Structure 1
Amino acid sequence: MRVLPPLPNDITSRPQSQRVAALAMLPLFWSLKGKRVVVAGGSDAAAWKAELLAACGAEVHVYAPRTELGEIFRDLIARGAAHECGRFVHNGEVWHPGIFQGAAIAIADCDEDVEAEAFFNAARACGVPVNVIDKPAYCQFQFGSIVNRSPVVVAISTDGAAPILAQAIRRRIETLLPPAIKSWASIAQAIRERVNARLQPGAARRSFWERFVDRAFLDTPEEGVETRLMAELERLAAPRPAVARVTIVGAGPGDAELLTLKAVRALQAADIILYDEQISNDILELARREAKRILVSDQRGDGRVMALAKTGKRVVRLQSGNPAPAAATREEASRLGKLGIAVEIIPGVDAEHHAPAVAAAETCPADPAAAWGTTRAANL
């Protein structure tokens, strides 16, 4: 098969099409199962961090004289860890430089900056990542707000700028994630290797997991669900001819929040996205990270849509505005249809329909409760 020559923007994309915007912090999910960690101090804050570490399966070595252990910490040590591999080891002495050898991470609650700096430097000297509670100058990493549906874990960080905002976001996410997600995630963990063995990377495997996810947000897993999932797996594994199809998606006036749910789903399912100059990075951010993005310069996608669709990839032609009523869109759909390529058109929001609503929002007096909420949020 002839290989298509790369466009210049396939190699050096414009700055607007970068895949990841600037990050204040790098989010990491770090396994501590069976690892030795250090917690210095007996305060309630230190107890919370120790409980969190032990819940991850860590062996938590606590350094604090018995008289300095708060009631919460004493109860925690007596109760034990939530994780079967986690445990607490209380050392009835203050911390010293010899405690860091072999530790995965080190946490301390220090009243004075002098002690915080000493703990920070001692941990770093041993190559141990360190966090001194409520003292950002002596932290190499931070703890975020957590939504726990383990093995699904969601962490939220505001880089220390607005902890109350992180807590509010966590509460919102808690309401969105049904408790059954925990069970579905465990099922996914159990069948993952079988799915990967039967389905090669590509449309079939992604289709299986997309249907799995749809179920996870609708139902509680019932008895025998794994058997039914395996039957669906075998059906998808059966050889089938590749279907050439293209989805033309309208991006509307450029605001990512105005994309339709169907448009977002198309972007998240795409293997290849051809987009024009007017598409914002906020909209491209909604696509799968793995999707190849190609900047094109004309309405027909530089003639590449047909060739890409014939490979069996899910191709999305992302256009600004609402392409549905445009004559050029109908012409392109007709042309591709004659070549045996199925075409779906997802309309975008018309700018003229959106503008009056924006104008009304800007000119109408806000209701007092909403205004109070806006002012309060700005002050957090």
Structure 2
Amino acid sequence: MAGGGLRLFLGGDVMLGRGVDQILPHPGDPALWERSVSDARTYVRLAEQKNGVIPAPVGFDWPWGDALGLLDRFAPDVRMVNLETSVTTSDRAEPGKAVHYRMNPGNLPALTIAEPDVCSIANNHILDFGAGGLAETLEVVGRAGLRTVGAGLTVADALRPAVVTIGSRRVIVFSFGTASSGVPTYWSATTSRPGVAFLPDLSDDTAADVAARVRALKRPGDLAVLSVHWGSNWGYDVPSSHRRFADRVIRGGIDLVYGHSSHHPRPIEICRDRLVLYGCGDLIDDYEGIAGYEQHRDDLRMLYFVTLDPAGRLADLRMAVLQASRMRLRPARPEDREWTCRTLDRVSRRYGTRLTVAQDGMLRLKTA
């Protein structure tokens, strides 16, 4: 806590399953149900073909690489990620899905080593192994002392926000998934079915419902974060419905909109002095050797370090650019930081936000 404000770390999708799980000390069953890939070790070989041999088994810190040092240096009060994988040994893959992610519970230290305070799980992979896989995920992650938000065995559990207490203040995190990110509508938690906290749409009525939940819990001095899994995997356009929804929930009491789902960072907007991240991109995954979207440079990963003032207004935003190589995060080269800055500056300026590379190599908001 600095000067009465709060410092937060926000990371995008953390996908420790499939190929990443295979290089860790306790790899699970590598079987997959994908159309063209039946063995998770294929993704390891693809990454090695691109960037070199991975010395498996690697330590639990390997996937995070240099991100861990940056986290320690910034010393956030609250750390948040979107955990986009089931933590289960189940082989009951959800029928009809093209891709399934699971990590062996024995590899959970690869998550806990980053010390996340909140793991959002309202996403399109948390029920890849059905209600049983979700139940095991909740049990394993909870036993490790980590907070999850956005899915549960009952609708009340799924809708219950995570609360992190920092001194005398609270950070309240609400988490929801949407169909636009690939969350099946039947994954929505109900009174009789486990599932995710699901937004049926981004209408004004839905925004008003979220705002009512915020007002029911938020007390003076609290900060409220909305974690939302929305939008397509690729591209920089932000639908007008996303912008309107962000504005409505901010007016209703949300202090920060933390969006994810896209495989690369999307535009940034400051709405009513509050930060809106429309897409944080992937943080950890096994996509390294997969071709097809090179123009988006999804090998470049972002760490978002946010400082909010006591009223919830954005006081500072710093972004570190890392690169995935051999399924490990390392500092991006200066030219890659510049490319990321130019790209995010170009796609964000239409929303009134400009970016620059600071002397320390971090991306910062450009001041007038």
Measured against the shorter chain, the TM-score band is under 0.3
Bigger RCO of structures 1 and 2 (CA < 8 A, at least 6 apart): 2
TM superposition score normalised by structure 1: 0.24
Would you tell me which structure has more helix in proportion to its own residues?
1
- Structure (1 or 2) with the larger CA radius of gyration: 1
